[in-house]
Amino acid sequence: MQASQQQAAGGAVPLHVEQFTLRRGPVAVLDAVSLTLAEGQTLALIGESGAGKSTLAFAAMGLLNEPGVAMEGALRVCGDDVAHAAEKQLRRWRGTRMGLIFQDASAALNPCFTVLDHLSEPLRRHRGYSRAQCRERALALLESVGIADPQARLKAYPHELSGGMQQRVMIAIALACEPRLLLADEPTSALDVTIQAQIMALILERVHALGASAVFVLHDLALATQVADRVAVMYAGQIVEEGPAKEVLNHPRHPYTQGLRASAVEFGAERLQPIAGVVPALSNMPQGCRFAPRCPRATAQCGERPQPRTMGAVKVACWNL
């Protein structure tokens, strides 16, 4: 890591989210979310579609600082509040403090630019590299993500690469300037199952090599226990349970986490039990616990919002534990 980057990181935690609420118009897409990720730690965000996982990852990249989106509370990356930073500042931080890997590399890569163009952009912008330096570093980056014949690949356009190779290129771009925090939004779900494990292992290996921290948005609970130190379970814009990944997923306490477990194919349940009902519309959320209308354990008290309770190493927001 360059000295300037070490200084930028300032020893502050890579990600600190506190009572963070994000509204689109009147609707709270994220509602009082709190979590902290320590240096070198990995976190999996799990939960049904629409829970707000991508929103949290995108907000941490500073990609939602736009009219129509209101943010309250703290969303700090390496000590600085991303939610209220100016675009100029964010452009300096994207790539050096935080990097993003999307689900679909073919949509994220620009079809008019070569692999070398893509890799050179952050290197020129953040490090002021010359063409020759960019080329040299780009070669090393392609090698580091396991791309064979990197010389030839530098000149390739995205459509000339397989899906797996495109994803490797995107990993190389995201990590080119050694960010402290990697955000990976379903990084392997668009890929063939046979290469999903390879790509996931590659991301983890690169993250560990950099000593960086990572947030993985995942649908696969078993994968979450394999790749993440911690897990945060999201439901309708709130974190309902958070703690060490194995503890949360092997001994789920929140009725929603228990429901997720029972409906997860990958845990090898003999008979899958889907969670009854559907997530309420964001415009029509219950006042108290958002899961209460679907919860088998709901009581009158659930009309009031449960505050997260600490149970051992886990935090759970439920009245009826």
Ligand X SMILES: Nc1ncnc2c1ncn2[C@@H]1O[C@H](COP(=O)(O)OP(=O)(O)OP(=O)(O)O)[C@@H](O)[C@H]1O
Contact footprint for ligand X (CB under 6 A): 24, 29, 49-55, 282
Q: Which is nearer to ligand X, 78 or 279 (CB)?
A: 279
Please report whether residue 54 would count as binding Mg ion according to CB under 5 A.
yes
Q: Which is nearer to ligand X, 16 or 53 (CB)?
A: 53
Q: Which is nearer to Mg ion, 53 or 153 (CB)?
A: 53
> CA nearest 248: which of 186, 319, 313?
313
> Which of the listed partners (Mg ion, ligand X, none) does 203 bind, with a CB threshold of 5 to 8 Å by partner kind?
none
The neighbour count for residue 198, using CB atoms within 10 Å, is 15
Please report whether residue 5 would count as binding Mg ion according to CB under 5 A.
no
Kindly state the smallest distance separating residue 56's Cβ from ligand X, in Å: 7
Kindly state the smallest distance separating residue 103's Cβ from ligand X, in Å: 8
The tokens for 274 are: 């889907």
The tokens for 33 are: 């979310």
Sign of the Cα pseudo-torsion (105, 235, 203, 141, in order)? positive
> Which of the listed partners (ligand X, Mg ion, none) does 55 bind, with a CB threshold of 5 to 8 Å by partner kind?
ligand X
- Rounded Cα distance, 235 and 204, in Å: 26
Q: Residue 246 is inside which H or E element, if any?
A: helix 245-250
Q: Which is nearer to Mg ion, 13 or 56 (CB)?
A: 56
Kindly state the smallest distance separating residue 106's Cβ from Mg ion, in Å: 17
Question: Which residues sit opposite 74 in a β-bridge?
Answer: 18
The neighbour count for residue 13, using CB atoms within 10 Å, is 18
Helices (H) and strands (E) in the chain, counts: 12, 12
State the number of binding residues for Mg ion (CB under 5 A): 1
Kindly state the smallest distance separating residue 268's Cβ from ligand X, in Å: 22
Binding site for Mg ion (CB under 5 A): 54
